[in-house]
Chain A
Amino acid sequence: MYGLGRVGHLGNSGGLGWVLPGASIDMNFKDGLYYGAAASQLAVSRASAAYADDLGGNWSQFASNVARITNKGLLSEESRTNSIRNNSGQGAILGTPGTPPTNWQVLSQTITSSIVGVGSENGIDYVDIRLNGNTAAIDHINIYFESTGQIAAGQGQTWACSSFTKLTSGTMSGLAPTGLQPIVEERGAGGTFLGFGATGPLTLTNAALTTQRWAAIYTTLSASIQSVLPGIIIFFKCQPSDRHNTAVRVAVARAGGVSSPLQSVRLG
């Protein structure tokens, strides 16, 4: 049996097999088991909403002052600032090419694009962008989450760029290197391109947005660096039938140190 006392503070003496022997309080956040203190006894002070993921890769948003508990455990993090001013993609106007979200840049290389939707999926604001592939060669398009020169940076700094990005129509089962590359670019005086770090190409699917968070982590190299430019590149070496039927959903872009996602205050 086990002592009940003040919520079991007398200690477990063997009645609950999972409790560590003799412990008065055993809080197994990961498995959702609590002895001697309930999860509701956690007092959390956090002056903002925040995200946490689970073992399935699903990200969920938690309101301010709410403990972030998933089947990975209790998440405790220091404060972080998102260097991207408009990471929730506000201000986009539908059309071809349409108007990108405020402060974003959509730079067509060999792919042209259309803004085809805005909305919210599981509480995450998104922008849908249709890709209009032109050839069966390697097409790509660059989407930057800030204006060039906006995010000051120095040599030897580690930057992370992340976003939720999913496929909303069409396929990315085309020929390599079709896929997504999160990137961090180094820029010098006047926005001169100096170099970049990237992850991927990564294959997108139409699974839930909260399961598809992608990131690149990069330590800047150039002594001439003045800023970093976070974004994504989408490579699209597709089958002819897919060239005008593929769209991606982009949300909660983030640049800064390695951390969980940050959705900023919506603009306007």
Chain B
Amino acid sequence: MRATDVITLNNPPNFGAATTLFGQAIGSPKNPAIVLVASDGTINNRCQIHEYQNNSHSAIQSNVTSVSDLSGAPWLPGIRGKIAVAISDGDHTLVFNGAAPATASPAYAAGPTFNQIAIGNSPDHFPWDGYLERIAIWPGTRVPNATLRAITTLIT
């Protein structure tokens, strides 16, 4: 038997009132599957990028309020994708492969409680089941949409 990979980051950064997460990976065969999560170690306070039903997704949840979940363009198994989520108070934006941003305006008390990073799992839930090529974190910055589109554009 091979056990599940539970991957976290030691010495995570100090998160501020806004956050941006980026991931580049080969599309997962699983549903759902996590790329990257910043959280307080619970599902009640988190910001994440993931894949669900072959679509790119991002989600935020704060203080047990209902989840703000955004769906972007399709992300099929075996296909490379670049995904980013940016959040700040009242702002939740998802960009996948340079496409137009998907947005929501959730009630959200952003980030100072984030103190954990999980990579490719949630943690111990929803493993990516594949290769994560790259992750990046802006723990105190809501990266502008133009930059989100630029950094997620696939170079062919």
Contacts and interface: CB of A to CB of B under 8 A. Distances in A.
Decide whether A and B are members of one complex: yes
Interface of A: 6-7, 9, 11, 19-30, 36-37, 41-50, 64, 67-68, 72-82, 258-260, 262, 264
Nearest to B6: A45
A203 B150 CA distance: 43
Contacts of A79: 1-4
| B interface residue count range (under 10 / 10 to 19 / 20 to 34 / 35 or more) | 35 or more
A241 to B, nearest CB: 42
B1 A73 contact: no
A259 B26 contact: no
A78 B10 CA distance: 21
A160 to B, nearest CB: 12
B11 A76 contact: no
A28 B133 contact: yes
B81 interface: no
B30 A78 contact: yes
Nearest to A67: B7
Contact of B135 (A27, A78, A264): A27
Contacts of A44: 5-7
A76 B131 CA distance: 7
B109 interface: no
Contact of A74 (B2, B132, B137, B151): B132
* Interface residues of chain A: helix, strand, loop or mixed (majority): loop
B14 A74 contact: no
Contacts, number: 145
A46 B9 contact: no
24 contacts: A7-B11, A9-B13, A9-B14, A19-B136, A20-B22, A23-B22, A23-B138, A24-B13, A30-B24, A30-B131, A36-B13, A37-B9, A41-B10, A44-B5, A44-B7, A45-B7, A49-B2, A64-B3, A72-B26, A76-B128, A76-B129, A76-B132, A260-B2, A262-B2
A29 B133 contact: yes
Interface string B128-156: 11111111111111010001000100000
B119 A72 contact: no
Interface centre among B3, B4, B14 (most CB of A within 10 A): B3
B29 interface: yes
A9 B139 contact: yes
B134 A46 contact: no
A88 B120 CA distance: 29
Contact of A46 (B3, B13, B131): B3
B72 interface: no
A260 B10 CA distance: 26
A74 B1 contact: no
A24 B139 contact: yes
A49 to B, nearest CB: 8
Contacts of B25: 73
B127 interface: yes
Contact of A76 (B9, B13, B120, B138): B120
B131 to A, nearest CB: 4
B121 interface: yes
Interface string B84-118: 00000000000000000000000000000000000
A76 B139 contact: no
B151 A68 contact: no
B8 interface: yes
A22 to B, nearest CB: 6
Given A22-B138, A37-B9, A78 B127 contact: yes
B155 to A, nearest CB: 13
Given A6-B11, A37-B11, A67-B7, A48 B1 contact: yes
A229 to B, nearest CB: 21
